[in-house]
Copies of this chain bind each other. A is one copy, B any other.
Amino acid sequence: MAVSEKEHAQKNIKTFKVIQSEVESIKRVALSVDCVIFGFDENKLKVLLIRSDSKKFKSKWSLLGDLVRPEEDLDASAYRILKQRTGLSDVYLEQVHTFGEVNRHPAGRVVTVAYCSLINIEHYRLKILDHELHWHDVENIKDLAFDHQKIFERCYSWLQKRVQEHPLGLNLLPSKFSLRELQNLYEAILNIKLDRRNFRKKFFAMDFLVDLEEEEEDVPHRPGKLYKFDYEKYEMKKKTWSGIDF
């Protein structure tokens, strides 16, 4: 390393000390959370969006976000946003990625942390409709406000990968579901066709499905059996879990 580089480095290392003693006087950035909320309805994977109210992105759709409050844990921010928008509080939620480009937001430096949430769309019936809050097919998501397209795409990829490692997808279904519904869900998320018999075999082999000894009703064909997911058993085996592999 050249001498000048080394001096530069050491100067910067001094800067680092500031973090210990002078946080209060340090220049800060605005921090927000954006939630990518997935739902599943009519055999399609959906995402919840609102109209952007920024001037620059008027008429474009955007993710659900808000600033993180100074006295609020980061995860708590995400749960708060979900609660505000959907009324749901006991939901699946996970942090995905933080987006921190200087110019990502037109109003100034805002670093945003993206969270993914999976909710059962039936528990949530669009009671709050501000900003034209609506479900959109993930297939047709394009041209979102800010850098939300990028955030959305990252979360969607994350989801596709994640459902193959853990059976998260079940958070998108009602508590009682048929195997067809389950397969439709996976096909919608992964955007592929699966062999019905092998799919069943695989899920039964996992041994997380409980036969409820009930059947579907009001279907225009032979009704399928209903199952529920055994979360407890899953939590037990989770440690040694290594994926689903479709």
Chain A residues at the B interface, C-beta cutoff of 8 Å: 1, 5-6, 8-10, 12-13, 15-24, 26-32, 53-55, 65-75, 77, 80, 83-85, 87, 95, 97-102, 105, 107-111, 113, 127-128, 130-131
**In contact, A131 and B13 (Cβ under 8 angstroms):** yes
| 15 extra A-B contacts, CB within 8 A, seeds A20-B107, A70-B109 | A9-B84, A9-B128, A10-B130, A12-B84, A17-B53, A18-B67, A19-B105, A19-B107, A21-B107, A23-B109, A24-B107, A27-B69, A29-B31, A74-B99, A95-B98
What are 20 A-to-B residue pairs whose CB atoms are below 8 Å?
A1-B127, A9-B128, A10-B128, A13-B131, A16-B65, A17-B53, A19-B30, A20-B107, A23-B30, A23-B105, A27-B69, A29-B31, A29-B70, A31-B100, A70-B109, A73-B101, A74-B98, A74-B100, A95-B97, A100-B113
- Are B32 and A31 in contact (CB-based, < 8 A)? no
Smallest CB-CB separation from A112: which chain B residue? Answer: B19
- Please state the number of chain copies in the assembly: 2
- Distance in angstroms between the alpha carbons of A13 and B85 in the assembled complex: 8
Which chain B residues border A80 with CB–CB below 8 Å? 12
Q: Is A75's CB under 8 angstroms from B100's CB?
A: yes
Chain A, interface SS category: mixed
A19→B67 CA distance, assembly (Å): 7
Closest Cβ of chain B: how far from A72's Cβ, in Å? 7
Listed from nearest, the 9 A-B pairs whose CB atoms lie closest are A74-B100, A28-B28, A23-B108, A23-B107, A1-B87, A9-B84, A20-B54, A98-B98, A12-B84
- Chain B min CB distance to A153 (Å): 15
Q: Which residues of B contact A75 (CB under 8 A)?
A: 100
* A10 partner residues in chain B, CB cutoff 8 A: 128, 130
Say yes or no: B71 contacts A102, CB within 8 Å: yes
B contact residues around A87 at 8 Å (CB): 1, 5, 9
